[in-house]
């Protein structure tokens, strides 16, 4: 009984074609075929019987593909994301500037310090405070812009 099963399995495996073989044969078959000519009648049945020159339509200008329409919701979401990223970077820069100011204050009020180091620290402290004020102003403007855009919502056209 086992021998019969083994013989049948071997026969099936020998005669089986792989998918690649089938595809190759199909390509060869199609290569030898001549393309069929498809004739379509244009217009009414009365004009379909006329000469081919009369039936031809003048070539129309090819339709130019229009750019895809801008999705207002997607555009609005991208604008919100950009503003949020800008706010986050401004907050990080503001925190770094505050830490720099604290470090400069520690240098100024250190128990042992020479006058030139103290003067340099005071100069840097003034610059850092100016930068902190500018960052605070820009951060508040950006936050206000974000809130305004969120309240308005996406502009649907």
Q: What is the mean pLDDT of the chain?
A: 81
CATH class of 72-147: mainly alpha
Cβ(98)–Cβ(132) under 8 Å?
yes
**Residue 44 pLDDT exceeds 80:** no
Is the confidence at residue 94, as pLDDT, over 90? yes
Model confidence over 113-151: pLDDT tens digits?
Answer: 899 999 999 999 999 999 999 999 999 999 999 999 999
List the chain domain ranges: 72-147
**Mutual orientation of helices 115-152 and 72-108 as an angle, nearest 10°?**
160
pTM: 0.53
6-43 pLDDT per residue, tens: 676 666 655 566 777 877 888 888 888 777 666 777 76
- The b/e string for 16-54 (b: 16+ C-beta within 10 A; e otherwise) is eeeeeeeeeeeeeeeeeeeeeeeeeeeeeeeeeeeeeee
Question: Considering the chain, what percentage of its residues have pLDDT values greater than 90?
Answer: 44
Burial class (CB in 10 A: 0-12, 13-18, 19+), 139: middle
Q: Using CA of residue 110, residue 113, residue 117, residue 118, what is the dihedral sign?
A: positive
17/121 Cα distance (integer angstroms): 85
């Amino acid at each position: 009984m086992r021998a019969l099963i083994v013989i049948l399995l071997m026969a099936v495996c020998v005669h089986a074609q792989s998918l690649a073989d089938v595809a190759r044969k199909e390509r060869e078959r199609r290569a030898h075929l001549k393309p069929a000519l498809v004739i379509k009648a244009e217009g009414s049945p009365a004009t379909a019987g006329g000469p081919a020159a009369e039936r031809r339509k003048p070539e129309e200008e090819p339709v130019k593909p229009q750019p895809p329409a801008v999705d207002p919701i997607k555009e609005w979401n991208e604008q919100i994301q950009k503003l949020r990223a800008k706010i986050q970077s401004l907050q990080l820069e503001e925190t770094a500037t505050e830490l720099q100011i604290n470090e400069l204050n520690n240098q100024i009020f250190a128990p042992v310090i020479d006058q030139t180091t103290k003067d340099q620290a005071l100069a840097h402290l003034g610059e850092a405070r100016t930068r902190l004020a500018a960052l605070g102003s820009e951060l508040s403007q950006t936050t206000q812009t974000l809130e305004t855009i969120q309240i308005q919502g996406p502009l649907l056209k």
